[in-house]
Amino acid sequence: MSLQERLGLSSQPVYLIDGSAFIFRAFYAMQHLKRADGFPTNALFIVSRILLKMLRDESPEYITFVLDGRGKNFRHDLYTEYKANRSATPEDLVLQLEPIKEMVKHLGIHLIVSDGCEADDCIASLASRLKKDHPVVIVGADKDLKQCLDTNVYLWDPGAKQEKLTSLEDFIEETNLTPAQWADYQAVIGDSSDNIPGVPGIGPKTADKIFTQFKTLEEIRDGFEKLKPNLQKKFADHLDNMFVFRKLTTLGTDSCDNEKLEDFKLKPISRETVLDFVKEYELRALAREVNAIAHADTPAPEPKKKKVATDQLGLFGGGEKLTPEEPDASPAMSVNDVTGLTSCADKRVAVLLADQTESNSVLVAIDKTEFLYAGKMDELAEFCKAAKQIITPDAKALFHQHAGWSSIDPNKLLDLGLMAYLLNPEDRDYSWKKLSRKADELEISRKNGGILALAIAEELERSLDGGHLRPLMLDIELPLVGVLAEMEEAGIRIDRAAFAEFLQEVQADLDNLTRTIYDIAGTPFNIRSAQQLGKVLFEDLGLVSKTKTSGGQASTSQAVLEKLAGQHEIVDRILEYRKLEKLRSTYLEPLPKLADKDDRIHTTFNQLATATGRLSSSNPNLQNIPARGEFGTRMRSCFIAAEGKKLVSADYSQVELRVLAHCSQDPTLLDAFKHDRDIHSSTAALLFEASVDEVTADQRRDAKTINFGLIYGMGPQKLAGELKISLKEAKEFIARYFEKLQHLKEFYDKVEEDAKQHGYVSTLASRRRYLPEITSGNNMLQSQARRQAINTVIQGSAADIIKIAMIKTAHDQQLKQLGAQLILQIHDELVLEVPAEHAEAAAKRLQEIMSNVAPDGKHLMDVPLKVDAGIGDRWNEAH
């Protein structure tokens, strides 16, 4: 349904497109897309696709694409700091501006470059003039454009993850403001994306309350004495500034007056010209969309033979390339042994397991020929050893099918899911079902799954090369697949008797706690029921909670109960009950049921689950087994070595802080680690201006909290809660921290600047995480992206280090000779199972390997990687 039909408009609307906004968003959303010669095409591709979709779905009569012109405008003269926080436009984006303009014109869309004003001003001016006679749809996402909303003016963002259409009624209902008030409102809260500070200390929630009482800035100024005392303090020194800020945020309506409605009329499209253009920039995936909207009087030339046009595969695509002739969609031939297969020597082979196909057989594709294979898996693995490349959606699944696959040179393997993950680690779904959705765009039938896999592999390879990610795949991620498969097969042994004994004790404690809680409450109730617990706490016993659930009930969440601790005996007992109940339900009861006949538990290590590159564990999650604390030692004592063997555990000491020291080159951190001094005491000594010997336990604790907290993006509010200090004190503490550790501040600023400049951050092993929200106008999203940027560089680099250590450990000949088997990876810890007589030698060798990891593959870090190791019959003894 077209937008005209959805809005119930009697006539075609005029579409005013905020081109600059879409170009920037497109550039940062998919940065690895390049032409074969390296010319960037990411913004060109996405903007072209959006425009083609609009032309197809809306069939607009009047449409224009508005771009910002070069140079400064009146806002820079009014306020010299206006947009001063913005980085220079990336060169790869600048290169695409002219091709984008060219594409816009080829599509018959009127182009405006708003010299002397911003694109938003031009759009606001056009909307103001045109709305009297025509409906107007502003295609954009900039919040300033909300000023233009009217009974006949709509704001539409079709490029967001979820399309957003805003009418005047929607805006008023959502904000309780009128469009005329929007600039006043923005002047008060500020706009970080334009470097407009607003009134310090006034956020959206406070501003919402203020604007229910005062409608304009003039009313705030004239009614100053009616403001609450705390608000008077905030506004006192900014009553003049806020009027300046309003001028900055107010869109002009007196520009682009030479533009007439007839200029916006969509012109006929020359299909041949547009097809030549997409071919020049290797965007052939757009050819079908061009054909769908092009006029019939300009037929496209007949191709000499049918080709398969390949697409960029959403956010993880690359430059395009024509593949061989499309095979027909007839079913593959069936064979029961490898003698029925065409020789694969020096050819690319695709292998899809039965659960990845539409049959119960394995699908094998060799060049343009497909077979359904129902023979022995070991014979197929042996047959594929001669191939130039083996392409599969999930290499680890192959390894689990038969050990023969693990003997194949890992450099020959291409794991499609893994490749897609490296290109877009935020996607979360890299299954063949998801990847194969590109069949239509690739013009390959899903029945030809093997041929489709070969085409997808080609595109993903080009994208990896465009993002310089091939070394990461070949040196770390692909070799790790086989290591993880072996670890999953090996598993770890449990002591069933120890589990049973521990469970019995915990259950007895839970029974006693239950009776105590009932006695305190004065009535039995279901302690696990949030509704019944809420009634006991907040109705029967009169406790007060300010936190509500989405249904409006008083919350009984863990965070709420922790705040109520100490206020009533029942709260402390319930917290204790929950701790024991989690231990029972998560570990003690279910884990023994998952053990095999040899009493071994086999977890699944997830390589594609986190944006930072860290591994996770599931079914069961062994990475969540408590390591320390009240139950950590007892819980780990339930995991044991096989008979005649020992467990060897080696753990990196403060690896993330060591990565931080290396990346930031902060002298204090470097010196502490190089001389093996306690990093938290050294930091505390600096913060509190004392010698290391004078640092108290509380001061060291505070330093430790901020050292680790800032890696994970902890802000002043969280720090205040952790240290139990005021928000003001937390802000002062963070300011002092960065003042004393100046190199850290410079490093954090550089990471943020790089993220804004490139749209992504990289780890020491060149792993990328794309952060399009780093330039968002939404303060919350931008702050989150800043935290993710720092976290990814540090935690992601630590993940690279442990992965390299795992590969080196699994392939080390000395450890193999000692009979050592890598069985677990828990964050920064590796666990081996080793014959008892070789345990000490294996522990020493494991320490050597882990201590000498070069995260970039070439150079050791500037601080030593310290590794602690232990040996024991039980896991708790080894760690």
- Look at 181-190, 479-488, 772-781, 821-830 and tell me which has the smallest mean pLDDT: 772-781
CA proximity to 135, closest of 156, 123, 155, 152? 152
CA distance 398 to 380: 11
**How big is the chain by its Cα radius of gyration, in Å?**
31
The fold adopted by the segment(s) 3-171 is Rossmann fold (3.40.50)
Residue 630: its pLDDT value, please?
78
Indicate the range of 302-306, 338-342, 358-362, 459-463 predicted with least confidence.
302-306
| DSSP label at residue 874 | B
The Cβ of residue 76 has, within 10 Å, a number of other Cβ atoms equal to 14
Q: What tens digit of pLDDT does each residue of 25-54 get?
A: 888 777 678 887 778 898 999 999 999 999
Token representation of residue 848 = 């050597």
pLDDT given for residue 310 in this prediction = 30
What's the rounded mean pLDDT across residues 241-248?
A: 85
How does strand 62-68 pair with strand 110-114?
Answer: parallel
Above 90 in pLDDT, residue 874? yes
Q: How far, CA to CA in Å, does 328 sit from each of 7, 322, 439, 440, 531? A: 44, 17, 13, 14, 60
* Residue 808 confidence (pLDDT): 97
At 397, list the tokens: 């699944």
**pLDDT tens-digit readout, 655-704:** 999 999 999 999 989 999 999 999 999 989 988 888 988 999 999 999 89
79: confidence class by pLDDT, cuts 50, 70, 90: low
Strand partners, 760: 770
3-state percent breakdown (helix, strand, coil) of the chain, nearest 5: 55, 15, 35
Residue-averaged pLDDT of the chain: 87
695 and 680 in contact (C-beta within 8 Å)?
no
**Per-residue confidence band for 467, with pLDDT thresholds at 50, 70 and 90:** confident
> What's the rounded Cα separation, in Å, for the pair 765 and 792?
12
Please tell me the distance from the alpha carbon of residue 610 to that of residue 796, in angstroms, as a whole number: 10
Return the exposure string of 635-674: e unless at least 16 CB atoms fall within 10 Å of the residue's CB, then b.
bbbbbbbbeebbbbbbbbebbbbbbbbbbbebebbbebbe
Q: What is d(CA 246, CA 250) in angstroms, rounded to the nearest whole number?
A: 6
> What is the value of pTM for the model shown?
0.73
pLDDT at 68 over 60: yes
Give the C-alpha separation, 330 to 327, whole Å: 8
Q: Which of 269-283, 467-481, 812-826 has the lowest mean pLDDT?
A: 269-283
306 pLDDT exceeds 90? no
Break the chain into its structural domains and give their ranges: 3-171, 314-467, 496-598, 656-794
- Residue 580's closest CA among 532, 500, 497, 508? 508
Residue 748 φ/ψ, nearest 5 degrees:
-60, -40
Asked: is 496-598 a CATH 3.40.50.300 domain? The reply is no
Residue 298's Cβ-side half-sphere holds a number of Cα atoms within 13 Å equal to 14
Angstrom CA distances, 817 to 779, 808, 813, 850, stand at 56, 14, 6, 18
- pLDDT of 55 reads 92
Q: What is the CATH T-level fold of the domain 656-794, as seen in this structure?
A: DNA polymerase; domain 1 (1.10.150)
Identify which has the larger pLDDT, 389 or 772: 389
With 0-12 CB in 10 A as exposed, 13-18 as middle and 19+ as buried, what is 538? middle
Q: Which two tokens stand for residue 292?
A: 């769908």
Question: According to the model, what pLDDT value does residue 863 have?
Answer: 95
Q: Which residues contact 433 (CB under 8 A, 6 or more apart)?
A: none
On the question of pLDDT at 300 being above 80, the answer is: no
**Tens-place pLDDT, residues 816-863:** 999 999 999 999 999 999 999 999 999 999 999 999 999 988 889 999
